[in-house]
Amino acid sequence: MTTTVPRTTGTGRRPYAGLALMVIITCQLMLMLDSTVVTVALPQIRTALHFSPASIAWVMDAYSLAFGGLLLLGGRIGDLYGRRRLFVAGIALFTLASLVGGLSANAGMLLAARVVQGVAAALAAPSALALIVTNFDGPARVRAIALYSSVAGAGGSVGLLLGGMLTAWVSWRWVLFINVPIGIALVVLAPLVVTEAPRHRHRLDLAGAVTATIGVGALAYGFLHAATAGWDAPATLGAFAVAVPVLVAFVLVEWRIGEPLLPLSLFADRNRTGGYVNMLVLPSAMFGVFFFVSQYLGLVAHYDALRTGLAFLPLTVLAFAAARLAPRLIQRYGAKPLMVVGALLLGSGVGWLTRLDAGDGYWTALFGPMVLLGLGVGCSFVPASATILRSVPQGDSGAASGTLQMLQQIGGALGLAALVTAYGAVAGTGTTGLAHGASAAFALGTALVAAALLNILFVIRHRHPTTA
């Protein structure tokens, strides 16, 4: 049995398309910025709830671990049991967890709330992107994906900006409370304006669900733990020792089962596979940039939370502006040329940051890179998302979306761990030592973007704009 999908208006738009897009994009922004919105509030959270220096990082990591580990499962559940239903349920659970987190009286209560937030995000996020495929057709779908991709790319910087403002003006608790009124509005509006997709009555791949959740969760934990405890820490090595065989088992299960959690046919298309690689590698560089620039501003430049957030404003604004222009450029030139330009801009921005030194001013050393990074994000994530979702069967769009977002989360964790390792290898004492360590981290980030550029040039094939 399937749900009937209303007819479009003939322009690729469905009734209430504007409101539907607003609901979907607002949800995605809320979920993405929660990965970083607490970053600038960590000192206040540590003092208020008596976190230890070693445990405070888990305020961020608990969310990322649950989010990344369950994305594949969340995407497939939406395919099978209704994307809009799971979208609304995920938002409702996320809203409740945000309220509990804001009311937290101790560290354990906050960490539990962050885990539940991550679980809820893993339920809602894959359905958000899949619902764009359902609610829009043709050029309208490309524009909608452009807005979605700009949120996915710039959501981290929006979180830093919003977190700084709320922490400075009200309290750290409002970085969580802010989700409550937004979430309530989305839960009310989504059933009214978002069109449900046809449901596909198949059995849930339980073996794939278990192995994917354990394998991806262990892999994400390994990267996150490596960033704070080192690559040779027993817990880090143990996590990877679990992740590798379990993920191999997951692939074998998916290869043999008739109704897989992750259809391996998604990787049969060369361009889609290349797009997935980019969505893994580019966030690896970007998450590291967010972390080290915010550390530099706070510890070297002595910016307060508000000024740190505002420092990312050029990146945020230009990412959204470039994403608005990207659909026209894709239609005119194709996706591959735009991805090449985006990678060159990102590489130039991260490469510029390698020259960062103690005593440098914002306008001379950081404003230029923020401009290049903002334009690069808008030009990179939009065509990559469009390339991945092009011609995905309706029944697999949730799985395709969950895979895309899982790779973003894993890429962010991998990149942060790798860049922290590069930082630790050369960092010295004092502000000069921190700046030198950050330069080494940015050099590795530049190499990651260069790898993404090679992937675009040699793996992804150019399609004529009329067929893109």
Domain borders along the chain are 17-204+261-467, 205-260
Helix (H/G/I), strand (E/B), else coil: 136: strand
Q: Indicate left, alpha or beta for 8 from its phi (over 0: left) and psi (-120 to 50: alpha).
A: beta
The DSSP bridge partners found for residue 13 are: 136
Looking up tokens 């995000």 gives 121
Cβ-proximal residues to 382 (8 Å cutoff; 6+ apart), any chain: 145, 146, 149, 150, 322, 323, 326, 327, 330, 338
The DSSP bridge partners found for residue 136 are: 13
Q: Compute and round to an integer the Cα radius of gyration of the chain.
A: 21
Give the integer Cα–Cα distance in Å for 195 and 142: 18
Could you tell me the two tokens for 379? 């030009």
Residue 467, pLDDT score = 47
The CATH-assigned architecture of domain 17-204+261-467 is Up-down Bundle (1.20)
Give the integer Cα–Cα distance in Å for 403 and 401: 5
Reference 38, options 217, 291, 252; nearest CA is 291
Q: Which amino acid is at 162?
A: L
Q: 12 φ, ψ to 5°?
A: 85, 0
Q: How far apart are the first and last CA of the chain?
A: 32
Residue 3, pLDDT score = 40
Q: 104 φ, ψ to 5°?
A: -55, 135
Q: What is the pLDDT along the chain (468 residues), one digit of tens a residue?
A: 344 334 444 444 455 778 889 999 999 889 888 878 887 788 789 889 988 766 777 888 888 888 888 888 888 788 777 889 999 999 999 999 999 999 999 999 999 999 999 999 999 988 887 888 778 877 788 788 878 877 776 777 788 888 888 888 999 999 999 999 999 999 999 999 888 766 666 677 888 888 988 998 888 888 878 877 888 899 999 999 999 999 999 999 989 887 788 888 889 899 999 999 999 999 889 888 888 888 888 888 888 888 888 898 899 889 888 888 888 898 888 999 999 999 999 999 999 999 988 888 899 999 999 999 999 998 998 899 888 887 787 667 777 877 888 888 888 878 888 888 888 888 777 778 888 888 999 999 999 999 999 999 999 987 755 444
Give the integer Cα–Cα distance in Å for 397 and 135: 12
Question: What is the length of the chain?
Answer: 468
Cβ-proximal residues to 342 (8 Å cutoff; 6+ apart), any chain: 375, 376, 377, 378, 379, 380, 381, 383
Q: Indicate left, alpha or beta for 82 from its phi (over 0: left) and psi (-120 to 50: alpha).
A: left
Residue 199 CA neighbour count, 13 Å, CB half? 17
Q: What share of the chain is helix, strand, coil (3-state, %, to 5)?
A: 80, 0, 20
Residue 417, pLDDT score = 82
